[in-house]
Amino acid sequence: MQQFDYNLLNTLEVLLEEQSVTSAALRLHLSQSAVSKQLAKLREVFGDPLFERTSYGLRATPRAKQLAPELRQVLQHLELFTRPQHFEPSESQRTFDIHMVEPAYSLTYPHFMPEILKQAPQVNVHAKTWRRDSLDQLLRCEIDMAISCWEWDSRSKWHMENIPNELNYVELVKDHAVCLVREEHPLFQEKWGLDTFLKYRHLQVVFGGIEQWLLDDILNLEHLKRDIAVNLTDFHSAMELCEHSDLILCAPAKYVGNMLKGSPLKILSAPVEMEAGCYVLMWHKHFDFDHSHRWFRELIIDRVKAEY
């Protein structure tokens, strides 16, 4: 092991992800022969075949599957050891991986990305929509950071106190729920309140990883439930449907603010009292002293909080 080439671990990680020597070679910018030779060295080091050939590609052995969970963290630590202590944004070519709930894109990206590109023109930012396993990926240090919705209301399943201890976080933007309806909706002939709210059917937008709103958690505690007629994943389509139906659409107020310009939809307050929630930037404490990571997250925090 004294002569072990730690670059082989990167090859192992890519092989585990791709399950193919050909695909791994493309990602690593190596020939298939070179990857096969590295796989042979890995097999010798670990005393295990690591992969078996099948008609569908490579299949990881039990030993390889056992190695997989720890491999990413080992590579992260090695990257930190070899990363320069001094960070110069203008020279950096680092790629940052970030997961975000859909509303966070329009609320944050326009405020921090222009400065990122100005200070570090060679940096890459790979963003994906927040999903069910994003929190686990944060805890495994597989992504650099995430922006997700958390609540201060004690009735929420996503209360701020439930953020795992392994993560650090900063509140970026506070927001609250509102209701959208078409301007000639029949509910305007009635007194607006919870009874009217529940009388009509609803349109729900399911954002990545978040399938139930704080509003629904509160209604459930009272053994009440909205009649959701339609579920969508695209907010623009939901707004258009809301304009042409009697469905009620609940949405975060700041998120819909810009999109409502020129729209005939009317805003009504939520019929239930609840504390404002917030969009939270989270990262693993593993990255606390990573100079480039700190530069990136502090720029996000400073630019976004300056806007709100």
Cβ contacts of 225 within 8 Å, gap of 6 or more: 216, 219
CATH code for the domain of 72? 1.10.10.10
206 and 233 share one domain: yes
**How far is Cα 2 from Cα 25, in angstroms, rounded to an integer?**
26
Q: How confident is residue 234, by pLDDT bands cut at 50, 70 and 90?
A: confident
Residue 121: pLDDT band (50, 70, 90) is very high
pLDDT of residue 27: 83
Write the CB contacts of 102 (distance below 8 Å, at least 6 apart in sequence): 129, 130, 207, 208, 235
Domain membership flag for residue 256: yes
Q: What is the 3-state secondary structure (H, E, C) of 257-292?
A: HHHCCCCCCEEEECCCCCCCEEEEEEEEHHHCCCHH
pLDDT tier at 2 (50, 70, 90 boundaries)?
Answer: low
> Within 10 Å of residue 119's Cβ, how many Cβ atoms?
15
- The three-point CA angle 22-23-29 to 5° equals 90
Q: Do 40 and 109 fall into the same domain?
A: no
Helices 21-28 and 32-46, axial angle in degrees (round to 10): 110
Check residue 283 and give its pLDDT.
Answer: 96
Residue 2 falls inside a structural domain:
no
Please indicate, yes or no, whether residues 120 and 237 belong to a single structural domain of this protein: no
In a domain, 29, yes or no: yes
Choosing from 82, 112, 130, the residue where a domain stops is 82
pLDDT of 128 higher than 60: yes
CA dist 13 and 19 (Å) reads: 10
- pLDDT at residue 22 is higher than 70: yes
Whole-angstrom distance, CA of residue 48 vs CA of residue 219: 55
Q: Using the structure block, give the residue that is written with the tokens 């070519």.
A: 93
Model confidence over 156-212: pLDDT tens digits?
Answer: 888 999 999 999 999 999 999 999 999 999 999 999 999 999 999 999 988 765 666
Gap between the Cα atoms of 286 and 173, Å rounded:
24
Number of domains present in the structure of the chain:
3
Q: Is residue 198 part of a domain?
A: yes
- Considering only 61-75, 90-104, 122-136, which range has the smallest mean pLDDT? 61-75
**Cβ–Cβ under 8 Å, residues 146 and 282:** yes
What does the pLDDT average to over 11-37?
Answer: 88
Q: What would the two tokens of residue 50 be? A: 């690591």
Q: Which domain holds residue 205?
A: 177-273
- Residues 188, 240 share a domain: yes
Residues 77 and 197 in one domain: no
299 is a domain residue: yes
User: What pLDDT does residue 286 have?
Assistant: 85
> The CATH number of the domain where 102 resides is what?
3.40.190.10
Among 67, 82, 97, residue at a domain's last position: 82
Helix 7-18 vs helix 21-28: angle between axes, to the nearest 10 degrees? 130
Residue 161 lies in a domain: yes
Judgement on whether residues 111 and 31 belong to the same structural domain of the protein: no
What pLDDT, on a 0 to 100 scale, did the predictor assign at position 291? 87
Residues 160 and 303 in one domain: yes
**155 has pLDDT over 60:** yes
pLDDT score for 208: 62
Residue 188 shares a structural domain with residue 264: yes
Per-residue DSSP letter, 83: S
Confidence check: pLDDT of 233 > 60: yes
Query: Which tokens is 37 given?
Result: 């030779």
Structure confidence at residue 1 (pLDDT)? 47
Q: Is the residue at 1 inside a domain?
A: no
- Residue 290 Cα distances to 81, 84, 283, 284, 287, angstroms: 10, 10, 11, 11, 5
In a domain, 213, yes or no: yes
- 268 and 292 in a single domain? The answer is no
pLDDT (0 to 100) of residue 49: 92
C-alpha span between 262 and 258 (Å, rounded): 9
Q: What mean pLDDT is predicted for residues 226-248?
A: 93
Domain boundary among 36, 64, 82: 82
- How does pLDDT run across 7-16, given as a tens digit for each residue? 788 888 889 8
218 and 297 together in one domain:
no
Lowest-pLDDT range of 80-89, 105-114, 174-183: 80-89
46-56 burial, b for 16+ CB within 10 Å, e for fewer?
Answer: beeebbeeeee
Asked if 76 and 133 sit in the same domain, the reply is no
**Do residue 154 and residue 299 come from a single domain?**
yes
